[in-house]
Amino acid sequence: MRVLVADDDESILACYADAFTQPDSLESTQKLKALSAELFQDSYDPTTAEPEAIFDLVRCSQGDDAVEIATAAMRQGRAFNVVILDVRMPPGMNGVEAGERIRAIDPEVNIIFVTGYSDVTLRELEARIPPPSKLHYLPKPVSFNEVAQMARDLTSDSVARRGGRQDG
């Protein structure tokens, strides 16, 4: 599952990285949970626990870079399932314009706007970057876990729609 995120704030990009990648100690944690269930009859059932999706997360800090990366990915046949954009990313292209260009080259991709303040309304965004079903808006402050969950949900639909074109 491929996710592209563009935000001019490095600390936010770091949060995305944390939310969209699995911790290194996942195996020890799984062992701990399994042992806890065995010793103390906890509710954890390793046989039923679904492995969380692994994201191939690509980060950038400018709208121009996002368009360039998305374009290159399309040429390589490795289109992104989800593109997450901030609206204000000075000094270059803003997120709305970047979203328009990415939509122009990839009509299937889901675009999520995550911003602290938008100069354009959601209605205007839907008009400029149709269809509304593939456009999402989350105001900051936002839980990156929620963003990651949304990305998972959207990715599953995207994978189904794109068929065998995707590798992850």
By CB under 8 A, name the binding residues for other proteins: 9, 11-12, 14-15, 18-19, 23, 25, 28-29, 31-32, 35-36, 38-40, 86, 88, 115-117, 119, 139-145
**By C-beta, is 121 or 156 nearer to other proteins?**
121
**By C-beta, is 86 or 106 nearer to other proteins?**
86
The one-letter code for the residue type at 78 is R
User: Using N-to-C axis directions, what is the helix angle for 63-75 and 95-105, rounded to 10°?
Assistant: 10
**Residue 103 backbone phi and psi in degrees, to 5:** -60, -35
Instruction: Supply the minimum distance, in Å, between the C-beta of residue 133 and other proteins.
Output: 26
Q: Are 116 and 139 in contact (CB under 8 A)?
A: yes
List, in sequence order, the alpha helices (H) in 7-143.
Answer: 10-20, 26-40, 63-75, 95-105, 122-128
Q: Hey, what's the torsion of the CAs at 21, 25, 26, 31, to 10 degrees?
A: 180
Instruction: Supply the minimum distance, in Å, between the C-beta of residue 15 and other proteins.
Output: 5
Instruction: Supply the minimum distance, in Å, between the C-beta of residue 43 and other proteins.
Output: 11
User: 60 in helix, strand or coil?
Assistant: strand
**By C-beta, is 121 or 145 nearer to other proteins?**
145
**By C-beta, is 32 or 122 nearer to other proteins?**
32
**By C-beta, is 3 or 15 nearer to other proteins?**
15
Instruction: Supply the minimum distance, in Å, between the C-beta of residue 60 and other proteins.
Output: 16
Instruction: Supply the minimum distance, in Å, between the C-beta of residue 147 and other proteins.
Output: 10
Q: How far is residue 53's CA from residue 63's CA, in Å, rounded to a whole number?
A: 26
